[in-house]
Chains A and B, each alone.
Chain A
Amino acid sequence: MMTYRFKFSKGEEIKFIGHLDIVQAFQRSIKRADLPIAYSNGFNPHQQIDFASPLSLGYVSEGEYGDLKLTQDLEPKEVMERLNAVLPDGMVIKELIRRRDGVKNTMASVSAGRYKAYLDSRITPKMVEENLENYFALKEIIVMKKTKKNFKETDIKPDIFQLINASEGESAIIEMVIAAGSTRNLKPESVAEGFYNFVGVEYNKFKIGFKRMDIYMVIDEKLVPLTYGVEF
């Protein structure tokens, strides 16, 4: 048995495929690649593969993570190549390592995420440059957050760790590091919404593109990628 941790990207081609379908697509790819995947015991055996954090529909990503377990110890390079040959368009494994035992699974490890928000043309790079610092300096940032039943005013400021003006040419881009995981979780959409409110432009989430850049865990009080220090 060998567990592997992998990092993959999710491109434009596949951004409308939701999390459960991505899991299914991975499972079928493993079968097509004919990899010796380990199965769980029990009445309904399922492939031993799990993922760090679901990505919202419509988002692209350069930093998705998962673990998978094989019944044989194959070379990581081979596993990665065999999978990349059969994964659907837009899904590419960038990194795959043997993972040592005794490490928390990816989902339990998640503490933060790095995202880019591609704002619509009503916001110029100049507006970002002039306002982002002041926005981040606010004592509290109140946005309406959806709860199970209705909307509630919430202060998202404590969950924002870093905001960067990442604009390129004519397009206004905000890069952010924000809380993610089971204890604290913030949607990048809320950060964008807060910024639109701050600069007084009506917010429409359908006009904004989002990309996850990476997912982090905390090791020695530092945010590090999920592949950091887990290699076998």
Chain B
Amino acid sequence: MKNAIPDEILLQVEKPARYVGREVNMVKKDPENVDIRFAFCFPDVYEVGMSHLGLQILYYFLNRREDTYCERVFSPWTDLEEKMRENNIPLFALESQEPLRKFDFVGFTLQYELCYTNLINMLDMSNIPVLSCDRTDDDPIIICGGSCAYNPEPLADFVDIFYLGEGEVLYDQILDMYKAHKKAGGSKAEFLESLLELDGLYMPKFYDVSYKENGEIESFKPNHPKARKTIKKVIVTDMDNVFYPEKQLVPLIEVVHDRVTLELFRGCIRGCRFCQAGFVYRPVREKTAPTLLEQAKNLVKCSGHEEISLISLSTSDFTCFPELANGLLDEFKDKLVNISLPSLRIDAFSIELMEKVQEVRKSSLTFAAEAGTQRLRNVVNKNLTEEVILDGCKLAFDGGWTKVKMYFMLGLPTETEEDLRGIGALTDKIVEKFFEIPKENRPKPVTVNASASCFVPKPFTPFQWDAQDTYESFGEKARIAKRSITRKQVRFTYHNTKMSSLEGVMARGDRRIGAVIYKAWENGCRYDGWTDKFNWEGWTNAFEETGVDPAFYANRVRSYDEILPWDHISVGVSRQFLINEREKALRAEVTPNCRQECSNCGAKTFGGGVCYDDIQV
């Protein structure tokens, strides 16, 4: 098989291995012998995309069908893009090295808002018309999923179908319908219409939106008799019997995460009020330990990886965690396979466990405190007290750890200067905790890395109505937080404020943002999530040229009766629940987690998961 890019060019770009495929466990099929060709596109660079669990699952899920060939596509780095455009080489899929235009489906996973210009760019590089209305029956169908699809409106002009929910549920049905439709010689328009039968799919062309003079949405209505008023996400209810790949693609170059990924459960019981994942993936649905141990053994064996990572939104909340952890330790202890445990709550059990899994190298300890004071932590429903943090640190320092990472957020609703100064107070206390242990028991000096992100209000969270700070205000707040730190052992960094501002606009944008994204892409914006590629001027010009005011989207408080751009979508969690949560937030009241008490968020309608477990007392 010939590479799409000639050697002469590959030799001149950074990491040419990104573009030639042929990794271990890559699926090989003859494209001529399948009915459906599906391009799974990740709108970022290879090393990021190859570390994404969703890609690994859907790749093998779709390829388990004999009639379908799912291939991968990543965004070419800017050096190769330049050469491809110079030499008129269209974007291609890694497996067959063939251009995307030949495919039936071109699917994108939307993991963060700042990849939108990459999506436009990838379509353009494929010679596929970027706007849905310009595409014909000869062009592929563009379908998008992933967490950003829950507010699809900014991309409504470019995408044919948004898939809301988990891929395992509907893809078989969609592909069966497509195959039958293609055999019968039907048009693309007819196929999309036939999909209106299914819930979980949002097709923008079947909906019209109008605006009030003040810029708010006046109405959002279906323009087709079969189009649903509300589209509800689709999810897997039986996690133990759902498809999970027996193999994993093993890249031949170093990627962000080189390891086996084991998905423990979906959803999160916590309900932190800033966290979109905590609401859109409800309810919690777990796998059982025996299933996971079996999957772990398999994946380690067929990948040859030396590390296995347990993936979930909050690993300590996994009900079978002790059983799983001990099982994994027994299985892999002598095989020199490391167990990596992200998203752990720091307590006696996890400290003991971490000591077992990383006997030699002590990595750093991470606390997502999110806010500097208890009041503000209550506002965001972050169930983590100063006492728990300091006790955890004490345990860890006694165990020989000397590095602590603290995550904070700037600009949370109701935040005051006192909350910002709380960041310094808390990190200083951690350092003092370290000095409480006897000098001879300190292997190394302590370091506390406090890093602050800028709060971005997201759809389907209680803060979806709130105003985001301006980037100037984020900068000022970061300075206050930094000044509040007195200990030299604490290092403070914060996220790019302008990038967070832009993310804020995209996250709650409506259809009118599409024109801005298109313009920004024309202005040369790519890889907006990469600090060294981020082109603020390209974006500010795009807003100016399209007459769209970013502050309308980012920095404005909405009223509860305003129609929000994502109101036609349901993630199961009711609007009333979100309103209640917001009101409680303003009163700094916390809400118990799903295992303590059901708060009737609405996710029970899916008929599975934690909602049907016995409530623990």
Contacts and interface: CB of A to CB of B under 8 A. Distances in A.
Interface of A: 13-14, 16-18, 21, 24-25, 27-32, 34, 39, 43-45, 57-58, 86, 88-90, 205-207, 209
Interface in B330-376: 336, 360-361
A206 B11 contact: yes
Contacts of B250: 28
B87 to A, nearest CB: 13
Contacts of A89: 22
B447 interface: no
Interface in B86-115: none
Interface in B1-19: 7-8, 10-12, 16-17
Given A21-B252, A206-B8, A32 B303 contact: yes
Given A21-B254, A88-B22, A206-B11, A28 B17 contact: no
Contact of B24 (A28, A34, A207): A28
Interface string B522-557: 000000000000000000000000000000000000
Chain B contact patch, size range:
20 to 34
Contacts of A209: 7
A14 B252 contact: yes
Contacts of B303: 28, 32
15 contacts: A16-B17, A21-B252, A21-B254, A24-B254, A28-B304, A29-B304, A32-B302, A86-B24, A88-B23, A88-B24, A88-B252, A89-B22, A206-B7, A207-B8, A209-B7
A99 to B, nearest CB: 24
Interface string B306-337: 10000000000000000000000000000010
Given A88-B23, A206-B12, A25 B7 contact: no
B360 to A, nearest CB: 5
Contact of B16 (A16, A24, A34, A39): A16
Contacts of B20: 13, 16
The 8 A-B residue pairs with the shortest CB-CB distance, nearest first, are A28-B304, A31-B304, A32-B304, A16-B16, A16-B17, A206-B11, A206-B8, A17-B252
A57 B252 contact: no
B11 A34 contact: no
B301 interface: yes
A89 B20 CA distance: 12
Contacts of B300: 31
B93 to A, nearest CB: 16
B63 to A, nearest CB: 17
B177 interface: no
B336 A27 contact: no
B253 interface: yes
